[in-house]
Structure formats: structure tokens, C-alpha cells
Amino acid sequence: MNIKVEMANSLVGILHEHLEKEEIISLLEIPKSAHLGDYAFPCFSLAKQLRKSPQAIAEEVAANLTIPLIEKVKVVNGYVNIFLKKSVVSSCILKEIIHKKENYGHHSIRRNGTLIIDFSSPNIAKPFSMGHLRSTVIGNSLALIAEKNGYKPIKINHLGDWGTQFGKLMVAYQLWGDKEKVIQNPIKELLKLYVTFHKEAENNPSLNDQGRYWFKKLEENDEEAVELWKYFREESLKEFNKVYEMLGISFDSFNGEAFYNDKIERVIHLLEKEQLLIPSDGAMVVQLDDFPPCLIKKKDGTTLYATRDLAAALYRQETYKFEKALYVVGNEQMLHFKQIFSVLAKMGYDWQTGMAHIPFGMMLKDGKKMSTRKGKVVLLEEVLKEAIELALQNIEEKNPRLTTKEEVAKQVGTGAVIFHDLKHFRLSDIEFSLHDMLRFEGETGPYVQYTHARACSLLRKGKMQKMDEQLLADESSWNVIKTLESFPESVKRAMDNYDPSEIAKYVIELSKAFNKYYASTRILKEDDHKQQRLTLVYAVTIVLKEGLRLLGIAAPQEM
């Protein structure tokens, strides 16, 4: 049951000549103070149309507003303040949650409509740094949120496994590489070589020419170049998968840029056929109406990100027949994706309207972007290990008898890192701070996980015998109920805005409401209402667990 929709349905009957249902839903507010009601409908926007004062309109609306869920209506300063019947509404919401369980909040916007989501996509031969965390956890959460909204998500890790940087790395490996050291610690040593190359290239620009030459050899299937490239890719995937396993993230495809090499000529042919490809200073570009030209082929004949992204878009549409395709890539790539979508539109592909770039802010260190070229990286695997170790220490101190310490420590440690990222609006930059990331109090992942564990503990101690949805109408439990009722709306809003922070903020809000209820109510008191209180606790565990799942975070039953 969606109370806001129920309110809107009633108001439509009164205002249908003046406002559409969606307009009414958008106007309905939740008052800041409980004494002003559970919902408020402002009548100011109708004043000009009806040539009446907002107060007079509000009084007319209030006089005609009668539905079973409403206990009373008050008119205050042009607002219709609506007070709900707590016991009736509480019972309806609890019944729905307990009946649907983890399906509570599910929306069937698109029944099995395929949604492609391109995220994480680290460059091979480089370590998995904190800089990759944002795309990885935002993308994974959006895939889960999309599924909750009725889509069938296809998770693609579009590996950065092609480009001039690999030519540069081959040059560095041949000039300064120690094969034994590289075999022992591939990613660490390859990063050193990559950093050395860029330092040396500052004084010796000809190295960049050599890098371009070796990438050209790779594109032409030179045996030595291909062998080195395969080695870089295999070792990188081994390292990446360690991190993905720690985060509990999986993919449906690891097809990276290199996968599209044999599909690029088709893209160029199609562009030529549509007479879109034109020469420009020796290179080949597509002219765009609203953006700078999209570079398709360089002077030396090598291709670029744009060429491969066009090939990828065609392949994915033909393979998956997607309704939506999301690219979870940093906001510095906004222009790139605008160009890609514009080229596809010029090629006559209507399906490009379902494609969207989901930008996000940067992970900063000391106010600056982390740079692999300059060696300024913080390894994600090391941060996760430290978070897990700290979680284990906390468990040892507070609950030494816990039998699943290691498993819970992993859930809490990784949850702390993921939640710290996802609680921020995705477009905001985040300053990397290990101290803040690993805090276990305040608005953090461990706080929400602990709230869930506390609720589970109450259920074990209370030995709930039967569900009793006829909840008491006290103010403390009512605040929990209202928060539970708003979960489906948070799920929809997170999808509409492509923003997991909507869910993160929601689980914090629910945790606060429940902990306030816990502090003011003797939940396990042996009286006639104990089963009702435990039913509310059970509903909280269902929704908290599901909210955390949508963020890619586990919900331990004990901590």
C-alpha cells in the first residue's frame, strides 16, 4: 500500500478538473512536526486558477476529503493537514511487508526489460586503486536497484585493455623491466615501470613516439606485442578478482576494449555509408551539431575510445536488445558520452535514447585527484583488509564469544567502505580519509548493520510465536511504521535518479527511527502486546536487510 497514492486518489476526486494525479502526488508533503499531521496538501498553486484564497480552497478540500485511512483533517494557513488512523495504516503496512518479505518495495516498471550496466572497468596492468571504488560500488548498487524496479540487469566490466598506454608499458618493460621481479609481483612492478616511463618521457619525448609505435604493432597483431599484452591482462584479472570477491561483486561479461578490435571496421564502414565520416587534418571525424567533432581515427590510423565505444554499443544492442544502457563513468567523461550518443543518433539508431551516462565525482586525496601516472595511488585491497582487521578487533572487544567472527568482520569491514561511498550523492567529490571510512559510529554502514543485528537479537530473545499486525498506535512505533512505508518510494526514487545514496539515507533514517523506538519501549515486556511489538521488529529486519542488499552490503544477524 502506498499511502501517498491513496491520499492522491482521494484528492483527485475533488480536484480532477484542476490537477492531474501526478501533480497532486508531487505536491503532497510530510510536515516537519508531527502535530501538523502525517501529510499536508498546500493549496497555493490553485489560488490563481480558482480565484480564491488558499485558505478558502483548503477548507473546501478538507470538507470533501473522506477515506477510511483518515482520522481527521485540519486546515492551517492554506494547508490541508491530514492525520491518519494509526492502527489501521500500521496493520496494512505490516501485513504487506510480512507477506512480501524481500519483495517489499519491488516495482514492475519494466517486466524483464534488459538493462545493460557498464561499470568498474579498471585498466589492466595497473593496481585496483581507491580511484576505482566509486564506479564499482555505484554500478553494482544500481544493477541491484534496477532489478528491484523490474529490469533484468546485465553487468559488464568493460576492461581498459587497449590503447597507447600499453605500447608505453611495453617500451618500459623492455627498457627497465626485470622479468623475475615482474613474475613475483606483476601489478606492483608494472605500475613502477608505468610511473618510470612518464617520468623519463618528460625529459625524453621520443619515448612517447616509441609507445605509439608499439601500440600500432599490437593493433597489427605483432606476435611479441600480443604475447606481452596477454600476460598483462591475465595477471591483472587475477588481481582484480581478489578485490571483486572481497566486495561480493560479480559480472556477466569482462569484454573489454580489445574485444571490439575486429568490430571497428564495421563501424567505420557504417559511418562511411551514411556519409558521416569526414577528413580533418589527416584524421577522420564525425561532425556534430551541438558538440565538438567526434574523433574516430587518428592520423596514424589507430582508433580511439570513441570508435570502440560505438562498436560496443552496436554489439550490446544486437546481443542483448537492451531497453536501457547505463555507463557508470566519472564526470570528466561527460562530453565523450554526449558525442557517442550523438553519433549513434546521426546513424539513425532510435535505441540510443535509452542510453545514459551516469557520472560521479572523484575520490580525492589531499584535495587532488589520485594519479596512477604519478604513483599517487591507495590500493583498494589494502583498505579493505585494514577495514576487516579493524572490524575483527571491535568484535573481539565487544562480542568475543561470537562464533562467526571472521565472516562478520568481513561483512562489516567491506560494508563500512562501501557505505562510506554510497551515502554521498554520486556527483559529489569524496575526500579519501581512512579514519572516516573506518568509523563504526554515526551515519555509517556498521551502524545500520548493528541495528539489524540488534533487531535480530530481540527476535531470538523474544521468541516470537505468531505475527500480530494489529500494532499499538503509540507515537514511537508510528514513526517506525511511517519510515517502513516510505521504502518503496525510496527504491523508485533511487532508480529515477540513478542514485544509491537515496537507499543509504533511507536505511540510516530507518535505523534511527528503530533505535529511538528501542530506547523508549520495553519491547520484550511480557504483556498482551509483546507479539505486536515483535512483529514490528521483524518487519524492520526485513526492510533493513533488503535496503543493505541494494547497496551491496550484507546484514549480519549477530555482531
For the chain, percent of residues with pLDDT exceeding 90: 74
Residue 288: closest CA among 357, 344, 353: 344
At residue 285, what is the residue type? V
For the chain, percent of residues with pLDDT exceeding 70: 97
| Domain endpoint, select from 68, 84, 100 | 84
User: With a threshold of 0.75, does the pTM exceed it?
Assistant: yes
Decide if pLDDT at 460 tops 70.
yes
Q: Cα 224 to the chain's mean position, in Å?
A: 40
CATH of residue 32's domain is 3.30.1360.70
| CB < 8 Å & 24+ apart, contacts of 275-279 | 276/343, 276/346, 276/347
Q: Looking at residues 195-201, what average pLDDT do you find?
A: 93
Please state, rounded to an integer, the average pLDDT across all residues of the chain: 92
Is 54 within a domain?
yes
Q: What is the DSSP letter of 123?
A: B
How many beta carbons lie within 10 A of that of residue 92, not counting itself?
A: 18
| Domain endpoint, select from 40, 62, 84 | 84
Residue-range definition of the domain harbouring residue 455: 380-550
| Domain endpoint, select from 84, 103, 132 | 84
CATH of residue 540's domain is 1.10.730.10
Q: What is the DSSP letter of 418?
A: H
The whole-number pLDDT of residue 304 equals 81
For 383-407, letters b (16+ CB in 10 Å) and e give bbeebbebbbebbeeeeeebeebee
Is 528 within a domain?
yes
The whole-number pLDDT of residue 372 equals 54
Confidence class of residue 241 from pLDDT cuts 50, 70 and 90? Answer: very high
Burial class (CB in 10 A: 0-12, 13-18, 19+), 558: middle
Is 242 within a domain?
no
Task: Give 210's contacts (C-beta < 8 A, 6+ positions apart).
Answer: 167, 171
- C-alpha cell of 154? 546485465
Confidence class of residue 472 from pLDDT cuts 50, 70 and 90? Answer: low
The whole-number pLDDT of residue 468 equals 74
The whole-number pLDDT of residue 4 equals 86
Is 477 within a domain?
yes
From CA 470, how far away is CA 56, in angstroms rounded? 38
pLDDT, tens only, 302-345: 778 899 999 999 999 999 999 999 999 999 999 999 999 999 99
Decide if pLDDT at 425 tops 70.
yes
The whole-number pLDDT of residue 6 equals 86
What is the number of domains present in the chain?
2
Is 461 within a domain?
yes
Strands 39-42 and 294-297: unpaired
From CA 554, how far away is CA 559, in angstroms rounded? 12
Is 217 within a domain?
no
Decide if pLDDT at 470 tops 80.
no
Residue 167: closest CA among 207, 203, 204, 129: 207
Q: Looking at residues 508-521, what average pLDDT do you find?
A: 96
Q: Looking at residues 222-235, what average pLDDT do you find?
A: 91
Q: Cα 339 to the chain's mean position, in Å?
A: 24
Is 232 within a domain?
no
The phi, psi pair for 295, rounded to 5°, reads -75, 125
Structure-model confidence comparison of residues 127 and 19, the more confident one:
19
Decide if pLDDT at 379 tops 90.
no
Listed ranges 9-13, 94-98, 364-368, 550-554; the one with the highest mean pLDDT: 550-554
